[in-house]
Amino acid sequence: MKTMTSKSAFSTLLALGVLVLSTGCDRPPDLEVRTFTLENLPSYAAVELIEPYVYGDREGAPGTLSSTTGAISVRETPDNLDKIARVLAEFDKVRADLRLHFQLIEADGFTDTDARISAVEVELRKIFQFRGYRLAGEAFVTATDGSEIEQLMQGTDDVYEISGRVRWVGPGIVRLENVDLSARSSGHALGTTVNIRPGQTLILGSSPKDGSTATLLLTVRAEEVGRR
């Protein structure tokens, strides 16, 4: 029988110690479950905000997230739960109502200027190369967070309908979802989803005008108008 020397024994013990330490370092973290009550933020918006802090692919201890009306429950590490609490405290606030000013602008070979669109025409000329622009219709809509919008707009030679949904998705950021412009005579003209900040004007899209050489451009300006 071969006897282990003191040096061999020490090496073996050292290797076992390293193995134990290594195993301890790989131990999955302890998770806790915490439920957060939502005062103003819709559940779907809260889920979008905190998903980056929930590690569902963590080996051995995946984080989980569930939601119901007015609350979300999260299973995560205490540190991540504290981060989530801070995020929700920042975002779960009363949101202002929003006033949307839509302008339908006709672009073609016009030579006269239209003072009603002077502010946005400067930006239009940076993007498009039409000779002239004129206002073809406008509409004002007041919306709250999560509300659907549907508004008729009288154009120069047609009636248009604007529809979509308004969602606050962050501090000072509003998402206009599935904004659709339809002409009563010819149907769908354009559709888009964009993020906008109060005080900002955006060009939502363009579409050929039915039966004409002109192009229709839809713009929107967003303004806060009060708090709920």
Amino acid 9: pLDDT: 53
Amino acid 221: pLDDT: 95
Domains of the chain and any CATH numbers: 6-91 (3.30.1370.120), 96-227 (no CATH)
> Mean pLDDT of successive 10-residue segments in the chain (228 residues)?
53 50 67 93 86 93 93 96 93 84 91 87 88 93 90 90 89 89 89 94 90 90 79
**Cα–Cα dist 171/134, whole Å:** 34
Amino acid, res. 116: R
**Cα–Cα dist 76/62, whole Å:** 8
Cβ atoms of 68 and 80 within 8 Å: the answer is no
**Is the pTM value of this prediction over 0.85?**
no
Half-sphere exposure of 9 (CA within 13 A, CB side): 5
